[in-house]
Structure 1
Amino acid sequence: MIRTLLWLIGGVLLGGVIHIVTILALPLLAEETTWTRVSAYEAANRIVILPRIEPGQPNPLQLDPELIYGLCQIDLGEGPAYLSGVLPDAFWSVALYNQSGVVSYSTTNRDGIGQTVEVGIFNAAQTRLLAQQQIDIAEGLLVVESTTDDLFALVRLSPPHEAMRPRFEQELSEISCGPRT
Structure 2
Amino acid sequence: MKSWPFWIAGTLVLAVLFHISAILAYPYAVTGVLHSRVVESEGANKMIAGPRASAEARGVVRPSPDLLYAICAYDLTSGPVKFSAPVPDTYWSLSMFAANTDNFFTVNDTQAARDEVEVILVTEDQIVPDPKGIPIVVAPSAKGAALVRTLISSEDKLPALQEAVKAARCATM
In the superposition, the TM-score normalised over structure 1's length comes to 0.77
Aligned partner of 1:137 in structure 2 is 131
Query: 1:75, 1:151 within 8 Å by CA — same for their partners in 2?
Result: yes
Which digits, 9 at most, give the CA deviation of each residue in 1:94-115, with x for residues without a partner? Answer: 1111234332222212225343
The structure having more radius of gyration, on CA atoms, is 1
Pick from 131, 145, 157 the counterpart of residue 150 of structure 2: 157
Q: Indicate if the aligned counterparts of 2:35 and 2:73 stay in contact, CA closer than 8 A.
A: no
Aligned identity (percent) is: 22
Q: Which runs of 5+ in 2 are unaligned?
A: none
Give the TM-score taking structure 2 as reference length: 0.81
CA RMSD of aligned residues (A): 2.7
1:23-38 to structure 2, matched below 5 A, reads: 23=19, 24-25=21-22, 27=26, 33-38=33-38
Between the two proteins, the alignment pairs up a number of residues equal to: 167
Amino acid at match of 2:130: D
Verify the 8 A CA contact 2:48 2:71 in the aligned structure 1: yes
Post-superposition, which runs of at least 4 consecutive aligned residues in structure 1 deviate over 6 A? none
Query: Does structure 1 residue 45 correspond to structure 2 residue 41?
Result: no
1:73 Cα shift? 1.8
Gaps of 5+ in 1: none
Moved more, 103-112 or 142-151: 103-112
Query: Is the Cα contact below 8 Å between 1:68 and 1:156 reproduced in 2?
Result: yes
Distance in 2 of aligned mates of 1:43 and 1:95: 19
Equivalent residue number for residue 147 of structure 1: 140
